[in-house]
Chain A
Amino acid sequence: MFHGVAVHAIDLSLEGEHGWVYRDVGLMAEPGSLTAVTGQAGSGRTSLLLTLAGRMKPTTGTLTVGRYDKPRSIRRVAALGLVDGVNDLEKALTVREHLHERSPGMFWGKRQESRAETALALAGLEPSPDDRTLVRDLGREQRVRLGIALALLDTPGLLVLDNVDTGLSRDRQEALWATLEELCGLGLTVIAACTESELATAIHLPSGTSGGEEPETVPDAEKPAGAGEQDGETVARAVPAEETEETEEKDR
């Protein structure tokens, strides 16, 4: 289903105008693995995600995504799920319109429709491409899932998404993570950012670094904790999750 790609990041650092956004991040994600990037708001999670997806250039360090090491080529295999402030959904548009917007190809035909259905299903939404629900009527979870679905329309090798757990109850978070794990099971490499994660492969970004991201105003965002490690090297090693039967059934 998906041709996941490996992500190798060595000593990635990004310096903003007001100091380091993140420093010395190392990541080894196998294809089809799920990696969590944790950290308080303003700890540089979004920037790191964008960097890993080829949407931001690191100041130092090397990044290899699959066979690619240049942001421009990385972008071809890496798709962005919902990243707040980068590809926010349009509240005034419907689900269907978002699908239409992101579907590749000249026309909206059967092929596009089936592809959209698949994507919606994989993202854990009602597989109805004609869904005329406005995004503003969707909950946070659905929006995240729609973001995943829209990203899947590009059939990426790497899915990157931000704020997986923001404004969601614990069970909803878990459902989301489950969806992500399912995708990993389908061979897709997933890197998701959240405040906290119990995943074994998690990159924790220390907050409070000078010149980090501005604190995001996210609904129900928790207050950032106290200062974490200042200079600790953040290394995450992600291994692919086991394929579940459910997903195999779904594939059929």
Chain B
Amino acid sequence: MRSLRLGRLELRRFTRSRLTRAALAGVVMLPLLYAGLYLWSFWDPQGNLENIPVALVVEDRPATADGKTVDAGRELAEELRDREVLGWHTVDARQAADGVNDGSFYLSLTIPADFSARLASPSGDGTPTPAELGVQVDTGRSYIMGTISDAVFAEVKDAASRTALKDYWDNVFVSFGELHDATAKAANGADELHDGTAEAGKGASSLNSGLGQAKDGTHQLAVGLGSANTATGKLSAGADKLTRSLGQAEDGSRKLGQGLAKLEKGAKQVADGNAQVYDQVHAQVPRLNKVADQVIPVLEENGTRLQSLAEAVEHGANQIADNAGALPGGVRQGADQARQQAQQLQNWLDGNPDADPRLRSIAERLAQSTQEVTAGLEGASSGGGGGDAAARLQRDARRIAEIAGRTAEIAPTAGQRLDQARDKINELDKGLGELADGSAKVEAGLGDAAAAGGELTSGLGRLGDGSAQLSRGLSRLGGGIVKLSDGATRVDTGVGRLHEGAGELTTGLGKLTDGSAELSDKLGDGARQIPDYGKGERADRSDMMSEPVRLANQVLNEVPNYGTGFAPFFVPLALWVGAMVSYMVLRPLNPRLLAGTAPAWRIAVAGWLPGLVLGAAQVGVLMAVIRFGLGMEAAHWAGVAGILLLTAAAFLAVVQAVNALLGPPGRVAVLALLMLQLTSSAGTYPIETSPGFFQTISPWLPMSWVVSALRRLISGGDLTVVWQACGVLALTIAVGLSLTVYAVHRGRTWSMRRLHPELAL
């Protein structure tokens, strides 16, 4: 009670004059000035950004994409002007730059010429390029404008991005639908491809087997042509030999003709002779026989005459023998060979019905000629005793000659053998008869033979020509066959390769079939997996994709404006300043009481209470103005009032204690404490952003607690920290008053310095 009285008296001092009353009023109003002006000034800067002159430069030209005109720059500018977040002034680039430089604009936003084009770039061809907005901020003019512009343009950028993204994603989802349809078509196509390749596979395998057979055929052809080549070689050689032989045969035949002519002459003579001989012999034979019967005995008497007769016979027989050997054996041999070769040629030609018909006719003629020749020769040999008859004739003639010789020899003794001779003469007679016939036939035959020989010669000439033609034809045939053989070999190789290729083709087609089947399946799967959105779904999805991440911004304990956010900081700050000013006016301790005998605590409280009255007044005025003047909303006004009163009390106790302890220099210490609390109470930025020093001192200074508590009381939330702050403040009061009591004890004794302060504050 006494303390109250004392405190009242302390204030009473100031009520006596207008000036001191004004001083008190000033003390009461000072926190209001401090916090109220500040909060009033910055109550809602964000809400008044439309007053900030900023430049807007629209250089954007509309772009066309997918047949749609994109005029994003103009739309963005309109949007900005509609929102009126900042005070937009549409100017040109020059004016904007000048304005930012001379400070008439805080910042400038440039929508560049290619803004729309770039926004539209994902839809068109070419490289998609992000659209850019140019911002120029002069943070030197206002640092906070940098932050504001960041926030504003983050929103602008987001809005622009959202619109662009929405269109883009809409296109993407449309494309998805098209892609889905196209993939389904592709799957069908792949299916058809699969069927086609399967058929192609079958075709290729039959092609392959056909080519295999073809390969066998071409191989055989090549081999056959090889042997045909050798055969024609042989044939050609044979034809050459034939030609040569025919030449020889012609020569032989010519000689034969000549021989035959001579032979005919000879044979004529022989026939004539033979006829004469026969006639003579035959005419003599019966006589001979009779004679012989008579002669035999006579012979023995007439042997000499007989001898001369025998000698004559021998002479005639010798002539025959000489003439009979004149027909040459070579002719027959040549003719024979010619005939055989002609026969062979004809046989071969029969075996090769495709042979040249001219060749055939030549060969036929050749065969006929040779046959004729042969037949003629045979005729000749059989006609003139032929070879054998002639030979026999010759031999007989010789034998006759020999017998006649021996007869001649033995004629003297013929009588003895006349019997035998008579038989022999009989035989001779017959023989001579036959000989005469034969030689007549020979003569006739030789005539034929000579004619035949002529024909043979001309035939052989023709045959030689034919054979020469044959030979030439055969060599040409040989050349053709060689070429044919080479071609056939090449064809064979080619067909071989073709066959291999066809094999590979078959395997490849097999793989292609499998692959196309897989392709078809996969494309089908793919088509099923590609989304195909309807219009509504598309809109939803585009909407989501244009802003895939959204903040579910659940603001707990919302702070409506800057002022409300900073009131928890500035109000206690103002109260501290208020306490400071209070004890500039008030004395922390009443010196009369100090000099007196009043108890220390009473003196301390007496010094504190008037401050408390002022503090309460400060709190009241400040709260009233903030509440009703600035219109701040608080969750717990009573709590705010309570904590502010407690704060004022605690701050006053501290300020009083410091002033009481240190005297006038205490004001400097109080100011220092203010600075420390200002920097460590986390009023603007969270304390975690401050250096360690401030984080360390923060919990030891009351203002940090007050700021935290006020945030809760104004914005709502868990009130634990409020009670903690109350505890801290109570403790602060206790500590402050204790220090003041201690100061009272110390202040009861004066020092020289206190008596005569050297420093007056």
| A93 and B9 in contact, given A55-B750, A56-B749, A213-B755 (Cβ under 8 angstroms) | yes
Let me know if B748 and A55 touch, CB within 8 A.
Answer: yes
When each residue 97-116 of chain A gets 1 if its CB lies under 8 Å from chain B and 0 otherwise, what string results? Answer: 11011101111100000000
When each residue 126-152 of chain A gets 1 if its CB lies under 8 Å from chain B and 0 otherwise, what string results? Answer: 000000001000000000000000100
Let me know if B597 and A75 touch, CB within 8 A.
Answer: yes
Let me know if A101 and B590 touch, CB within 8 A.
Answer: yes
Smallest Cβ-Cβ distance to A136: which chain B residue: B16
Let me know if A55 and B749 touch, CB within 8 A.
Answer: yes
**With the chains together, A189 CA to B47 CA distance in Å?**
76
Let me know if B750 and A101 touch, CB within 8 A.
Answer: no
When each residue 562-604 of chain B gets 1 if its CB lies under 8 Å from chain A and 0 otherwise, what string results? Answer: 0000000000000000000000000000111111111000000
**With the chains together, A86 CA to B12 CA distance in Å?**
20
**Of listed A47, A101, A105, A154, residue having the most chain B CB within 10 A:** A101
| A101 and B592 in contact, given A17-B752, A85-B755, A86-B755 (Cβ under 8 angstroms) | yes
**With the chains together, A102 CA to B2 CA distance in Å?**
10
* Residue B14 is within 8 A (CB to CB) of chain A in the complex: yes
* Residue B5 is within 8 A (CB to CB) of chain A in the complex: yes
Let me know if B749 and A92 touch, CB within 8 A.
Answer: no
When each residue 112-139 of chain B gets 1 if its CB lies under 8 Å from chain A and 0 otherwise, what string results? Answer: 0000000000000000000000000000
**With the chains together, A29 CA to B6 CA distance in Å?**
35
The residue from A57, A72, A75, A93 contacting B12, defined by CB atoms under 8 A apart: A93
* Residue B20 is within 8 A (CB to CB) of chain A in the complex: yes
Q: Which residues of B are found within 8 Å of A47, using beta-carbon distances?
A: 752, 755
Q: Which residues of B are found within 8 Å of A46, using beta-carbon distances?
A: 755
* Residue A71 is within 8 A (CB to CB) of chain B in the complex: yes
* Residue B756 is within 8 A (CB to CB) of chain A in the complex: yes
Q: Which residues of A are found within 8 Å of B14, using beta-carbon distances?
A: 92
* Residue B476 is within 8 A (CB to CB) of chain A in the complex: no
| A154 and B596 in contact, given A90-B13, A92-B17 (Cβ under 8 angstroms) | yes
Smallest Cβ-Cβ distance to B6: which chain A residue: A101
**With the chains together, A136 CA to B114 CA distance in Å?**
84
Let me know if A92 and B9 touch, CB within 8 A.
Answer: no
Identify which of residues 1-49 in chain A touch chain B, using a CB-to-CB cut-off of 8 Å: 14, 16-17, 21, 46-47
The residue from B12, B13, B595, B756 contacting A55, defined by CB atoms under 8 A apart: B595
* Residue A231 is within 8 A (CB to CB) of chain B in the complex: no
Q: Which residues of A are found within 8 Å of B591, using beta-carbon distances?
A: 86-88
The count of A-to-B residue pairs whose CB atoms sit within 8 angstroms is 88
* Residue A188 is within 8 A (CB to CB) of chain B in the complex: no
Let me know if A134 and B16 touch, CB within 8 A.
Answer: yes
* Residue B1 is within 8 A (CB to CB) of chain A in the complex: yes
The residue from B12, B596, B751 contacting A97, defined by CB atoms under 8 A apart: B12
Let me know if B748 and A75 touch, CB within 8 A.
Answer: yes
Q: Which residues of B are found within 8 Å of A85, using beta-carbon distances?
A: 755-756
* Residue A249 is within 8 A (CB to CB) of chain B in the complex: no
Distance between A236 CB and nearest chain B CB, rounded to angstroms: 22
Distance between A39 CB and nearest chain B CB, rounded to angstroms: 15
| A93 and B13 in contact, given A55-B595, A102-B596, A154-B596 (Cβ under 8 angstroms) | yes
Smallest Cβ-Cβ distance to B606: which chain A residue: A101
* Residue B83 is within 8 A (CB to CB) of chain A in the complex: no
| A16 and B13 in contact, given A75-B597, A89-B592, A92-B20 (Cβ under 8 angstroms) | no
**Of listed B593, B596, B598, residue having the most chain A CB within 10 A:** B596
Smallest Cβ-Cβ distance to A77: which chain B residue: B597
Smallest Cβ-Cβ distance to B17: which chain A residue: A92
**With the chains together, A222 CA to B484 CA distance in Å?**
164
Q: Which residues of A are found within 8 Å of B2, using beta-carbon distances?
A: 105-107
Smallest Cβ-Cβ distance to A90: which chain B residue: B13
Smallest Cβ-Cβ distance to B595: which chain A residue: A87
Q: Which residues of A are found within 8 Å of B597, using beta-carbon distances?
A: 75-76, 79, 104, 154
User: Using a Cβ–Cβ cut-off of 8 Å, how many residues does chain A contribute to the interface with B?
Assistant: 41
**With the chains together, A106 CA to B602 CA distance in Å?**
11
**With the chains together, A86 CA to B590 CA distance in Å?**
10
| A150 and B750 in contact, given A97-B12, A213-B755 (Cβ under 8 angstroms) | no
Let me know if B755 and A79 touch, CB within 8 A.
Answer: no
Let me know if A80 and B595 touch, CB within 8 A.
Answer: yes
Interface of B is mostly: helix
**With the chains together, A150 CA to B753 CA distance in Å?**
26
The residue from A17, A75, A79 contacting B753, defined by CB atoms under 8 A apart: A17
**With the chains together, A134 CA to B15 CA distance in Å?**
12
Q: Which residues of B are found within 8 Å of A72, using beta-carbon distances?
A: 748
**With the chains together, A213 CA to B748 CA distance in Å?**
19
* Residue A214 is within 8 A (CB to CB) of chain B in the complex: yes
* Residue A120 is within 8 A (CB to CB) of chain B in the complex: no
Q: Which residues of B are found within 8 Å of A90, using beta-carbon distances?
A: 13, 592
**Of listed B15, B593, B598, B756, residue having the most chain A CB within 10 A:** B756
**With the chains together, A41 CA to B15 CA distance in Å?**
34
Q: Which residues of A are found within 8 Å of B12, using beta-carbon distances?
A: 92-93, 97
Identify which of residues 1-53 in chain B touch chain A, using a CB-to-CB cut-off of 8 Å: 1-2, 5-6, 9, 12-17, 20
**With the chains together, A23 CA to B5 CA distance in Å?**
42
Q: Which residues of A are found within 8 Å of B595, using beta-carbon distances?
A: 55, 80, 83, 86-87
When each residue 197-233 of chain B gets 1 if its CB lies under 8 Å from chain A and 0 otherwise, what string results? Answer: 0000000000000000000000000000000000000
**With the chains together, A129 CA to B595 CA distance in Å?**
21
Q: Which residues of B are found within 8 Å of A80, using beta-carbon distances?
A: 595-596
Let me know if A56 and B9 touch, CB within 8 A.
Answer: no
Smallest Cβ-Cβ distance to B752: which chain A residue: A16
Smallest Cβ-Cβ distance to A211: which chain B residue: B752
**With the chains together, A102 CA to B596 CA distance in Å?**
8
* Residue A50 is within 8 A (CB to CB) of chain B in the complex: yes
Smallest Cβ-Cβ distance to B755: which chain A residue: A85
Smallest Cβ-Cβ distance to B597: which chain A residue: A154
**With the chains together, A71 CA to B746 CA distance in Å?**
11
| A107 and B1 in contact, given A75-B597, A86-B595 (Cβ under 8 angstroms) | yes
Q: Which residues of A are found within 8 Å of B748, using beta-carbon distances?
A: 55, 72, 75
Distance between A151 CB and nearest chain B CB, rounded to angstroms: 8
Let me know if B756 and A213 touch, CB within 8 A.
Answer: yes
When each residue 738-761 of chain B gets 1 if its CB lies under 8 Å from chain A and 0 otherwise, what string results? Answer: 000000000011111101100000
Q: Which residues of A are found within 8 Å of B751, using beta-carbon distances?
A: 56
Smallest Cβ-Cβ distance to A44: which chain B residue: B752
Q: Which residues of A are found within 8 Å of B750, using beta-carbon distances?
A: 50, 55-56, 86
Let me know if A101 and B9 touch, CB within 8 A.
Answer: yes
Smallest Cβ-Cβ distance to A57: which chain B residue: B749
Q: Which residues of B are found within 8 Å of A101, using beta-carbon distances?
A: 5-6, 9, 590, 592-593
The residue from B13, B593, B752 contacting A21, defined by CB atoms under 8 A apart: B752
Let me know if A108 and B5 touch, CB within 8 A.
Answer: yes
**With the chains together, A83 CA to B591 CA distance in Å?**
11
Distance between B214 CB and nearest chain A CB, rounded to angstroms: 136
Let me know if A104 and B17 touch, CB within 8 A.
Answer: no
**Of listed B5, B597, B749, residue having the most chain A CB within 10 A:** B597
The residue from A71, A93, A108 contacting B749, defined by CB atoms under 8 A apart: A71
Smallest Cβ-Cβ distance to A214: which chain B residue: B756
**With the chains together, A159 CA to B621 CA distance in Å?**
46
Let me know if A100 and B5 touch, CB within 8 A.
Answer: yes
**With the chains together, A111 CA to B223 CA distance in Å?**
163
When each residue 61-98 of chain B gets 1 if its CB lies under 8 Å from chain A and 0 otherwise, what string results? Answer: 00000000000000000000000000000000000000
Let me know if B6 and A92 touch, CB within 8 A.
Answer: no
List 14 additional A-B contacts (Cβ < 8 Å) besides A47-B755, A72-B748, A92-B16.
A14-B752, A55-B595, A57-B749, A85-B756, A87-B595, A93-B9, A97-B12, A101-B9, A102-B593, A105-B2, A107-B1, A150-B596, A154-B597, A214-B756
Q: Chain A interface (Cβ within 8 Å of chain B)?
A: 14, 16-17, 21, 46-47, 50, 54-57, 71-72, 75-76, 79-80, 83, 85-90, 92-93, 97-98, 100-102, 104-108, 134, 150, 154, 213-214
Top 5 A-B residue pairs of the complex, sorted by shortest distance between their CB atoms: A87-B595, A92-B16, A16-B752, A92-B13, A87-B592
Enumerate 21 A-B pairs (CB-CB under 8 Å) in ascending A order. Answer: A16-B752, A55-B750, A56-B751, A86-B591, A87-B594, A92-B16, A93-B12, A93-B13, A93-B16, A101-B590, A101-B593, A102-B593, A102-B598, A105-B2, A106-B2, A107-B1, A108-B5, A134-B16, A150-B592, A150-B596, A213-B756
